Amino acid sequence: MNAIPESEQRRRGLCAQAFLIFRKDVDYLRIEILVFLLVAAVFAWMKPPSIELLIALAAAYLVMRVVHADGIPGDRQFWITRPYNRWSLLGAKLLFVLVCISLPIAMAQLAVAMGAGFGLAETIPPLLLAQAFLFLFGALPIVALAALTSGIVSFIAVALALTLLSLGGATAFEFWLPHIDSLPIPVEWIRWALVAIPVSAATVNILVWQYRSRATNSSRILAVAGLNIAVLLFLFVPASFALKTQSWFSKRPELASAITITAGRGNGFAAAVFSGAREATAVPLALMADHPANTELRADDLTAAASWGDAPVTFMRQPTINRRYDRDGEAAFDVMMMVNSRQYLARRDEPVTIRGSVWLTLFGEDEKTRISARAPQGGSTRDGLRCRVTRVTERGVSTPAPPGQEPEWRPSDFVTCAALFQWPGKLVYAEAGEYQSDFRNTLISYAPLAAGLSLSPIEVRPSDPIGSDDVTIVTRRPLAHFRRDFVLTGVKFADFDLRFRRAPLPSRPPAR
Amino acid sequence: MISIRCEKLSVTFGKLRAVDNLDLTIEQGAIYGLVGPNGAGKTSAIKSMMNIIGRTGGRAEIFGRDSQLLDEHDFARIGHVSENQAMPGWMTVAYLMRHLKPFYPTWDDARATQLLRQFDLPLNRKLRYLSRGMLMKAALASSLAFRPRLLVLDEPFSGLDPLVREELIEGMIESAEESTILVSSHDLGEIETFASHIGFMDRGRLVFSEEMTSLTTRFREIEVTTGEPADIEHAAHWPEQWLHPEISPAVVRFIDTSYDPELTGAAVRELFRSVRGISATPVPLRTIFLTMARNSRRVSKGAAA
């Protein structure tokens, strides 16, 4: 008979120890586990997100309790001078999180997804990904936080302190530094991915330091440092960096090479607006782009600067861009360029040069799925969307009524699409004849992964009312993210003025 | 073979030097009583030896291994019971023993059963509902059932009634044949009955460390009867090893910390002109402890002055 190698014996010994500690923890927390299973069952039954916060709090409480069962800080713990292997101890805690927290949540998510009509095979991959995210970026940081504290009071105090520190820091920065870039929604995921780096690094190091050496003071310093770096990254990620990073994920960047963009005067007139605490003047511009047929163009972000010869430049970022139309390979966007009001008034009659950059995304390869209200189960697109037409018979849509009268309501059809874990990073439209309705397409994410940190396994979005029960769902996936620069010359800001002058304010009446 | 060795071990908490350059050696098979007043640094020294708290200087070794490197294999041979250890209150006594058994390769079921019976422990009662004495007995039973090579007890007897103390000591002594025992305690009367070695700590330092027999031989209460009133002036030539003097008109009493019948007698006769009688009485550990503690305070006060 072959003898078992020493390393294998050791590995088995560590696993056996981890299992013994895990079993002890299950015995210790059996009532709490039962309560958590009940909450998970309610989660599956009531459907998220109504109970999402409750299950998150219950999970955090259970994680804290299991870590504190064999706490790290302090010098009175029973286990310290018992032959517990430190890695077995950590392994037991992580096993507990997986079996008693992740698994019930996963089962509840699976039940919700299958209840919404998704199949087992299509649900499992994003479910596993979502669970991996929840474990790495949800449970593990809580394990690390619990490993830094010795009781529920200190845990809650530290958690509250860290939350207030983060929120307070973010609020203070937003107040004092209002010009910090806000990222376009589609690339927000890059901000979170960057934040995940210091959080993960701090979490892993805290766990290693605590379970190997019980170096609580050093670990607490590391936790504060990691959090500060995360907050700073969250606040100061430049939009240009995020957009440039997104361009590396282009699937077919060559399609963008032929796309050109030109700038011109937009519709409407200049108007005074408040941007943060400062007054600015919004100047309407229009951008026109040519792009390949059967593709679609979206503008994600724009920066523009106005200059007068060698005079100082007024510069403002403009993240809100409205698409005027996009058909037959031609797209037009309306943007409002923010100009410093003082400079605008001082130099409105001088020729101005406007230079700008716009970040665009080219969508293409439309995929169409026809669904009908007559099929109660609806239809499934190739993106994993399950869509159905529902008829709202009472108060579907209303027609405007004369003042003082009730609006007239009539039945209407709506399309509702459900996505697994998160809405796909694609354009999704519901087409009925000539009419096209989108699904809040400005709120999609270009994240390359199919799940995020949400506990909810289903994201449902309704369309606008649609006049037919035979609907085609059209999806377009992003092919290229790219930047185009433009220059607009030969204009003056006075050209954007509405041609009337504001009447002078009446003088204040004399005091009685 | 040495079980515990400390070389210049220091432990500080902020500005407080709890253990100050402690040099200590405990041979295998010894029953070492570590005594000293409150705040002497006994618990901090033991915690550092057990790697429960870090050290700020020096070194401590258990079975020749740096205490900071102690792992599960070392702790499988070490039993540690402390008065302020937080036991898992939700476990019953039986659960505690059942849970710990697989962690110790040398766990002896028969010994465990015998200890539980000997200590009269209620198997199905949760630890949180046990009295302090019962809890200490449960902790000791769980630390003796695997026949440890080293048993470290930190103030195990404080606050316990005499019956429980006796039971604990009995249980401990039964394992003395196969274990080295380090016990810190204020209970000098109990320590005296079983310790083979004594170490006295004060203000973080080890004042002395020696075998019990040598200690009790070395310390004597000397009573000198003089023919005429003792001359207080002689006190100026008072030997350093004579502590805690009480001088009355015809009788002088003191504790000799280096007693030798011939040398002490000669020194007494040299100091007092008319000596009618000298008696040397062995002193209990409690007296030795009090004498050393008072002397230590007197010396430090003098140094401070």
Q: What is the mean pLDDT of each run of 10 residues along chain B (305 residues)?
A: 94 92 93 90 95 94 95 94 92 97 94 92 95 92 94 87 83 83 85 89 89 88 80 67 82 88 86 83 85 77 68
Which of A15, A75, A79, A214 is the best residue to mutate to test the B interface, defined by the most B CB atoms within 10 Å of its own CB?
A: A75
**Sign (positive/negative) of CA torsion A16, A21, A23, A24?**
positive
Q: In the predicted model, is pLDDT for residue A361 greater than 50?
A: yes
Set of chain A residues whose Cβ sits within 8 Å of the Cβ of B99: 20, 24
Residue of B nearest to A85 (CA): B72
Asked if B95 has any chain A CB less than 8 Å from its own CB, the reply is yes
Put simply, the answer to whether A78 touches B53 (Cβ < 8 Å) is: no
Which of B70, B72, B82 is the best residue to mutate to test the A interface, defined by the most A CB atoms within 10 Å of its own CB?
A: B72
Put simply, the answer to whether A81 touches B88 (Cβ < 8 Å) is: no
Q: Calculate how close chain B gets to A199, using CA atoms only, in Å.
A: 28
Query: According to the model, what pLDDT value does residue A219 have?
Result: 94
Cβ contact A317:A276 at 8 Å: no
Asked if B247 has any chain A CB less than 8 Å from its own CB, the reply is no
Over residues A93-106, the mean pLDDT reads 97
Q: In the predicted model, is pLDDT for residue A504 greater than 50?
A: no
Mean pLDDT over each residue of chain A, to the nearest integer: 84
Set of chain B residues whose Cβ sits within 8 Å of the Cβ of A82: 75, 100, 103
Put simply, the answer to whether A85 touches B95 (Cβ < 8 Å) is: no
Query: According to the model, what pLDDT value does residue B247 have?
Result: 81
Put simply, the answer to whether A85 touches B84 (Cβ < 8 Å) is: no
Q: Calculate how close chain A gets to B295, using CA atoms only, in Å.
A: 32
Query: According to the model, what pLDDT value does residue A442 have?
Result: 77
Asked if B233 has any chain A CB less than 8 Å from its own CB, the reply is no
Put simply, the answer to whether B52 touches A80 (Cβ < 8 Å) is: yes
Q: In the predicted model, is pLDDT for residue A511 greater than 50?
A: no
- Distance, in Å, from the CA atom of A476 to the CA atom of A415, rounded to the nearest integer, reads 18
What is the DSSP secondary structure assignment for residue A254, as one 8-state letter?
G
Query: According to the model, what pLDDT value does residue B8 have?
Result: 95
- Distance, in Å, from the CA atom of A133 to the CA atom of A125, rounded to the nearest integer, reads 13
Over residues A339-362, the mean pLDDT reads 86
Asked if B80 has any chain A CB less than 8 Å from its own CB, the reply is yes
Tokens in use for B274? 């008319």
Nearest by CB to A78, which of B72, B86, B102?
B86
**Sign (positive/negative) of CA torsion A48, A50, A51, A57?**
positive
Specify the pairing of strand A470-492 against strand B2-13: unpaired
- Distance, in Å, from the CA atom of A481 to the CA atom of A298, rounded to the nearest integer, reads 10
User: In the block, which residue shows the tokens 């560590």?
Assistant: A14
Set of chain B residues whose Cβ sits within 8 Å of the Cβ of A65: none
Confidence band of A339 (pLDDT split at 50, 70, 90): confident
Asked if B128 has any chain A CB less than 8 Å from its own CB, the reply is no
Specify the pairing of strand B180-184 against strand A278-290: unpaired
Question: What is the per-residue burial (b if ≥16 Cβ within 10 Å, else e) of A207-218?
Answer: bbbbbeebbbee
Confidence band of A40 (pLDDT split at 50, 70, 90): very high
Put simply, the answer to whether A81 touches B86 (Cβ < 8 Å) is: no
Query: According to the model, what pLDDT value does residue A389 have?
Result: 81
Q: In the predicted model, is pLDDT for residue A512 greater than 50?
A: no
Residue of B nearest to A18 (CA): B103
**Sign (positive/negative) of CA torsion A45, A51, A55, A58?**
negative
Q: Calculate how close chain B gets to A77, using CA atoms only, in Å.
A: 5
Q: Is A317 helix (H, G, I), strand (E, B) or coil?
A: strand
Over residues A304-329, the mean pLDDT reads 76
Tell which wins on pLDDT, A326 or B131.
B131
Nearest by CB to A76, which of B75, B76, B86?
B86
Asked if B90 has any chain A CB less than 8 Å from its own CB, the reply is yes
Put simply, the answer to whether B103 touches A82 (Cβ < 8 Å) is: yes
Set of chain B residues whose Cβ sits within 8 Å of the Cβ of A76: 82, 84-86
Share of chain A above pLDDT 70, in %: 87
Asked if B14 has any chain A CB less than 8 Å from its own CB, the reply is no
Query: According to the model, what pLDDT value does residue A503 have?
Result: 46
Q: In the predicted model, is pLDDT for residue A505 greater than 70?
A: no
Query: According to the model, what pLDDT value does residue B156 have?
Result: 87
Note the pLDDT tens digit of each residue in A452-481.
888 889 888 888 887 776 788 888 899 999
Q: Calculate how close chain A gets to B1, using CA atoms only, in Å.
A: 22
Cβ contact B17:B204 at 8 Å: yes
Among the residue ranges A359-373, A377-391, A433-447, the one predicted with the least confidence is A377-391
**Which among B4, B22, B33 is positioned nearest to B184, based on CA atoms?**
B33
Put simply, the answer to whether A83 touches B75 (Cβ < 8 Å) is: yes
Query: According to the model, what pLDDT value does residue A449 have?
Result: 84
Confidence band of A316 (pLDDT split at 50, 70, 90): low
Tell which wins on pLDDT, A235 or B40.
B40
Tokens in use for B169? 């000591």
10 Å CB burial of residue A12 (0-12, 13-18, 19+) is exposed
Query: According to the model, what pLDDT value does residue A396 have?
Result: 62
Put simply, the answer to whether A77 touches B86 (Cβ < 8 Å) is: yes
Over residues A93-98, the mean pLDDT reads 97
CA A202 to chain centre: 22
Q: Is A100 helix (H, G, I), strand (E, B) or coil?
A: helix
Query: According to the model, what pLDDT value does residue B135 have?
Result: 93
Asked if B71 has any chain A CB less than 8 Å from its own CB, the reply is yes
Query: According to the model, what pLDDT value does residue A378 have?
Result: 67
Asked if B55 has any chain A CB less than 8 Å from its own CB, the reply is no
Nearest by CB to A81, which of B80, B87, B95?
B80
Put simply, the answer to whether B99 touches A83 (Cβ < 8 Å) is: no
Residue of B nearest to A89 (CA): B72
Set of chain B residues whose Cβ sits within 8 Å of the Cβ of A218: none
Residue of A nearest to B68 (CA): A213
Query: According to the model, what pLDDT value does residue A403 have?
Result: 74
Asked if B53 has any chain A CB less than 8 Å from its own CB, the reply is yes
